[in-house]
Every structure is written in C-alpha cells, then in structure tokens.
Amino acid sequence: MATTNRISPATDSPLKAVDERPLLVVDDLRTVIHTPRGDMKAVDGVSFSLRGGETLGVVGESGSGKSVLGRTIMGLYRSGPGMTVSGRVEFDGRDVHTLSPRALRGLWGADVGMVFQDPMTALNPVKKVGPHLTESLRKHRRMSRSDAAARAEELLNLVGIPEPRRRLGQYPHELSGGMRQRVVIAMALANDPKLLVADEPTTALDVTVQKQILDLLDRLQAELGMAIILISHNLGVVAGRADRVAVMYAGRMVETASSGALFGGARHPYTEALLDSIPRLADAPHMRLEAINGSPPNMTAPPPGCRFAPRCRYAGQDCAEELPGMTTDDGGDVTKADHLFACHHPVSAGGN
C-alpha cells in the first residue's frame, strides 16, 4: 500500500527562531533495565541532536521506549543497581550523566523542564498549588516569598488559568484535569528553561483541551525561544507542532525526518503502518480500522534482526537475520541527511 499524506502540518503555528547550534546532543544512548526475567533494552542506541527553538516529535506505540528516553535525557534515569545507562547526553556543552546529584538538581527546573505524562499524579495531592510553583522559584531564583507568590500568580495567568490568585490556595483535586495539566506546564516553565521535555502532555484530556494545551506550548515556545521534545503516541499531535519527527519502535529510532518529509513520504514500514491506522473523515461509516498485526517484541529477548520484521508486510529473510542501521535513499552521509530510516526494504514512493 502506498503511503499517502493523511496528516498535514499546520500552517498557523507561531513563527519560531531556531538556533543553528545544537543545544542537545544524544549519542548512542542506551538504557538497560535489569529485571528478574533478564535485561530489558528500553532504549537501544538512540542518537539525535536538537537546536535551540526547535521541536522534535518522538512518536511510537506504548512501550516503544519514548518515556524512558525522555527521563534518561533528563538524567532522572542513571546507572545503578537496577539499571545501566551508557552513551552520551550533552546539554548546552555539559555531559548530563557525569553531573553530580547537586549539579543535576540545579539543572532541573532551571535549564530543563519536564511535563510528566499524567497530570493526575504529577502533583502532590496534599500540597496546595502555590507551593508547587514557588518552591522552584525560591530555589533557583532566590526569590522572597512574596515575589515567588507574585511570579506564581503570573505563571498561572500565562498558562490560561482563570482566577490565578485563588487557584494558588487550592489543592490539585479541586482543579479539573485540564487545569492540572496547565499547572504542570507552569511548573516546568517557571524558570524559563532552554529545553522542555513534554511527555504525553495531552494524556486523558478531551480534544478541545488538547488543542488548547498544544497551542499554549506553541505560543510559549515562540515567546521564550525554548527547544521542545514532544513525546506522543498520536501522530496527529506532532504533525502540526514538530519541526522534525523521530519514530521509535522497540527501543530504537527507526525513522527520522522533517515533519513535511515524513508525513509526505514515510520510508519505514512501521511509520507507514502507523499512518494507515489513523481514522479519516473520508472513510465510510462503520469502516473497519486498519491495525498493525501482532505485538511488540519482548525486550528482554528481542529478535536478532529487525524488531518489526514479525509484523511487517514487506519482511524478507535478511530482515530476520540482520538488524538494519540508519541509512538514506542515496546511501549518503547519515550525519548530514534530513531523512533517515532503518530498513532493508523501505517503502517506495509508489508503494512496495
């Protein structure tokens, strides 16, 4: 089946200034979680770079390693008794994984912010909204209590929460899901970070609130000039928001490209399958949705070849035997190419 452009990038996003110098460099990053059933390769050899003011969308099915990647980049996951992290994460010239715990605490919130996946559990239920915001401001900016409270009120107003002064004195359970998500975003943006890692920022929100949250992130990015890693299982979320898109499967990036190139002509069969599974308004009523057959592999014992091969309609014998590396259409320099994919039998422009 030929890949068609079923999702078009939005054209009304705010203009963004993108720095040419890489802000974040991730090189051969690996996160291995040690379990009683064996070592699970949650992130397995991921490499990419991100410039200031740029948005990278990271997409894939649940369990593909997206959230583990985000937390490893943040330095929340480090080598220890239950986990081994290797590779390099360089943020603004600093190797994140060689920083001391004290230096990491100085990085979090000040230079790097994170919107965690579930707003219902990201906030402390026994702490009012105000201290969630003022704690970071007082630590990183050395603000007085009154100045931090004024800044917290300003932040809630910035993210579109009505009656911000009253909300500061409320507990999380007194707010709606959309408001709690906005509070989490306000916490992440409190100190004007250079990088925001947004892990499923619209989880469990209705589509209207989803759009409001994503529009908010676009506007704040344009105002603050920060870079964003937008993690989602929903291709529609990243289509109009990301400058570049990285598709993850079973701990590995299988395709990366600019948003327009990927949605206009996916080359990896997994990306094609994800696009085919999206419902379309033009479909007939009660039409059966496309599904990707099978299940993701057991990451404690992944197959020796391409990890998508057991589910792939184009797989050959070489796919079962050899793990493909990133390549380009013309076999050029992968460090300079815009569109990369890891496949022995890539989808062609006219179908495979």
List, in sequence order, every residue forming a beta bridge with 243; answer none if it has no partner.
none
Q: How far is CA 145 from CA 125, 142, 232, in A?
A: 22, 9, 36
| Side-chain-facing half-sphere of 214: CA atoms under 13 Å | 26
Mean local confidence (pLDDT), 329-334: 76
Which range is least confidently modeled, 18-32, 140-154, 208-222? 208-222
| Side-chain-facing half-sphere of 63: CA atoms under 13 Å | 8
Tell me the torsion sign for CA atoms 48, 332, 45, 56: positive
The pair of structure tokens assigned to 230 is 């937008």
The answer to the question of residue 310 being in a domain is yes
**What integer best gives the mean pLDDT of the chain?**
88
Distance between CA atoms of 133 and 201, rounded to whole angstroms? 18
The answer to the question of residue 133 being in a domain is no
Nearest to residue 309, comparing CAs of 280, 268, 340? 268
Nearest to residue 188, comparing CAs of 147, 163, 216, 167? 216
Q: What is the DSSP string of 181-213?
A: HHHHHHHHHTT--SEEEEESTTTT--HHHHHHH
The answer to the question of residue 165 being in a domain is no
* pLDDT at site 5: 43
List, in sequence order, every residue forming a beta bridge with 39; answer none if it has no partner.
34
Nearest to residue 13, comparing CAs of 258, 219, 203? 219
* pLDDT at site 2: 42
The answer to the question of residue 24 being in a domain is yes
List, in sequence order, every residue forming a beta bridge with 253; answer none if it has no partner.
248
Q: Where are the beta strands (DSSP E) in the chain?
A: 22-35, 38-51, 55-59, 83-91, 94-95, 112-115, 195-199, 227-232, 244-249, 252-258, 340-341
**Cβ partners under 8 Å of residue 128, min gap 6:** 168, 169, 170, 171
The number of residues in the chain equals: 352
pLDDT band at 334 (very low <50, low <70, confident <90, very high): confident
Q: How far is CA 123 from CA 17, 128, 201, in A?
A: 32, 9, 14
Sheet containing 38-51: which strands, arranged edge to edge?
38-51, 22-35, 83-91, 94-95
**Bigger pLDDT: 17 or 142?**
142
Q: Is the pLDDT of residue 10 over 70?
A: no
Number of domains present in the structure of the chain: 1
CATH number at residue 258: 3.40.50.300
* pLDDT at site 7: 52
Mean local confidence (pLDDT), 262-268: 92
Q: What is the largest CA-CA distance in the chain?
A: 67
pLDDT band at 18 (very low <50, low <70, confident <90, very high): low
Mean local confidence (pLDDT), 312-334: 89
Angle at Cα 63 formed by Cα 47 and Cα 70, nearest 5°?
Answer: 45
The pair of structure tokens assigned to 303 is 């197959």
Give the tens place of pLDDT for each residue, 57-87: 999 998 899 999 999 999 999 999 999 999 9
User: 140 burial class (0-12, 13-18, 19+ CB within 10 angstroms)?
Assistant: middle
* pLDDT at site 331: 73
Cα 49 from chain centroid (whole Å):
13
Q: Is the pLDDT of residue 209 over 60?
A: yes
The answer to the question of residue 147 being in a domain is no
The answer to the question of residue 172 being in a domain is no
Mean local confidence (pLDDT), 301-330: 92
* pLDDT at site 146: 94
User: 48 burial class (0-12, 13-18, 19+ CB within 10 angstroms)?
Assistant: buried
The answer to the question of residue 303 being in a domain is yes
Distance between CA atoms of 266 and 285, rounded to whole angstroms? 27
Q: Is the pLDDT of residue 48 over 80?
A: yes
Q: Is the pLDDT of residue 269 over 60?
A: yes
The answer to the question of residue 259 being in a domain is yes
Mean local confidence (pLDDT), 39-54: 95
* pLDDT at site 246: 97
The pair of structure tokens assigned to 294 is 């099978």
Task: Give the structural domain span for 249.
Answer: 1-9+18-100+230-352
